[in-house]
């Protein structure tokens, strides 16, 4: 099962390495800091980079959260498994499917998606042509084209959380007519005369 470990912001990578080294493989299968790939402009050219998906949190894959917590208490830095009262609560199946579907073991970085903006009379629509956000456009709440990120509202630990993933929007495509709903994305959009 996947559990969330809270750590100090900015220390995620160091703590993931420390926890993986200190806690045995009989207790912990994987400890990682989920990341997303994006691009940033440096001296006029786009450079690939990675950012934290959930700053201040790690994911620990274990079937023994009580034993994991015992190891975390002994660490010299702050780290704790999130719980409700006395019970450690794992991530819900849909949350695991979402993070696990965008990443893979050993490579827990959400790849950058690419797409374009279609301009309609009643507003714009984002169309993702490749990457993990393809066919998940409805999850996007807003976009920052200059930073090449899309903001998503997802459930994390049972509550809605806004997070970012990489999204490069290549161009604006003018279209005629009204904007189709995101539920109609599977259908081809017919231009009206």
Secondary element (H or E) of residue 96: helix 93-102
| pLDDT of 6 over the 90 cut | yes
What pLDDT score was predicted for residue 178? Answer: 64
Residue whose entry in the numeric block shows the structure tokens 């279609």: 118
Looking at per-residue confidence, does 193 or 96 come out higher?
Answer: 96
Percentage of residues in the chain having pLDDT higher than 90: 38
Average pLDDT estimate for 41-55: 89
Looking at per-residue confidence, does 193 or 76 come out higher?
Answer: 76
- Take residue 74 and report the two structure tokens written for it: 């002994």
Distant-in-sequence, close-in-space partners of 7: CB < 8 Å, separation ≥ 6: 15, 56, 57, 58, 77, 78, 79
- Take residue 174 and report the two structure tokens written for it: 């003018």
- Take residue 186 and report the two structure tokens written for it: 């599977």
Report residue 28: phi and psi, to 5°: -120, 120
pLDDT bin (cut points 50, 70, 90) of residue 183 is: low
- Nearest-CA neighbor of 167 among 151, 182, 185, 181? 151
Residue spans per domain, the chain: 1-110, 112-193
Kindly report the pTM of this predicted structure.
0.77
- Take residue 149 and report the two structure tokens written for it: 């990120």
Which strands sit side by side in the sheet containing 109-110, from one edge to the other? 45-52, 35-42, 109-110
Q: What is the mean pLDDT of the chain?
A: 84
Which DSSP symbol is given to 74?
T
Architecture of the 1-110 domain = 2-Layer Sandwich (3.30)
| pLDDT of 14 over the 50 cut | yes
As a whole number of angstroms, the distance between CA 133 and CA 139 comes to 9
What pLDDT score was predicted for residue 44? Answer: 87
- Nearest-CA neighbor of 55 among 33, 38, 82? 33
Secondary element (H or E) of residue 68: helix 65-73
Average pLDDT estimate for 149-158: 83
């Amino acid at each position: 099962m996947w559990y969330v470990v809270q750590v100090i912001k900015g220390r995620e990578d160091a703590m993931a390495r420390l926890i993986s080294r200190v806690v045995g493989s009989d207790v912990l299968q994987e400890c990682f800091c989920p990341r997303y790939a994006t691009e940033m402009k440096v001296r006029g050219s786009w450079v690939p980079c990675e950012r934290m998906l959930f700053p201040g949190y790690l994911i620990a894959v274990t079937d023994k959260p009580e034993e994991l917590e015992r190891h975390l208490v002994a660490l010299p830095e702050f780290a704790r498994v999130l719980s409700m009262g006395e019970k450690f609560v794992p991530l819900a199946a849909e949350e695991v499917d979402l993070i696990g579907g965008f990443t893979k073991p050993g490579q827990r970085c959400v790849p950058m998606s690419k797409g374009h903006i279609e301009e309609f009379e009643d507003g714009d629509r984002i169309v993702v042509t490749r990457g993990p956000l393809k066919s998940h456009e409805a999850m996007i709440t807003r976009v920052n084209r200059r930073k090449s990120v899309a903001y998503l509202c997802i459930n994390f630990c049972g509550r809605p959380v806004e997070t970012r993933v990489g999204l490069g929007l290549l161009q604006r495509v003018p279209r005629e007519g009204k904007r189709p709903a995101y539920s109609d994305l599977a259908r081809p959009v017919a231009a009206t005369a």
